[in-house]
Amino acid sequence: MNKNIDELANLIMYSGQSIQEVINEAVKSNNSVCINKLSDGSKELTVESIITYNVKIIDRYIYDLDGKLTKQYISINGKERMVFDKYQELLLKIEEKENIA
């Protein structure tokens, strides 16, 4: 039981890479960076890069008001996939625990 609580607590406390870390990596790789403030006050960081064969990759990071990573998306050739959603993963873990109990 304590292990389950620890897993949930770790996920709640997870902050991911900071905005500054992602920006630093993007700048070092000569990628373009854009920061937008969303209506709820959270921030969206978009990093665009081009890889071999002119393939465009767009990484979108959503940070909450405390600067913690809550969502991450990747778009390759216009097809977007969710990489990480903190709260969706939290709900899935809670549902798993309820189904086991």
Query: Taking the model in full, what pTM does it have?
Result: 0.86
H helices present in 1-101, as ranges = 2-13, 19-28, 86-100
Domain span holding position 52: 2-100
More confidently predicted of 71 and 3: 71
pLDDT at 101: 55
pLDDT at 10: 84
Domain count, the chain: 1
Q: Is the pLDDT of residue 1 over 80?
A: no
**Rounded to the nearest 5°, which phi and psi values hold at 64?**
-75, -175
- Which helix or strand (DSSP H or E) is residue 21 part of? helix 19-28
Report the distance separating Cα 93 and Cα 7, nearest Å.
9
13-33 tens-digit pLDDT? 888 999 999 999 999 999 999
Q: Is the pLDDT of residue 99 over 70?
A: no
Instruction: Using alpha carbons only, give the angle 90, 86, 88 rounded to the nearest 5 degrees.
Output: 55
pLDDT at 42: 97
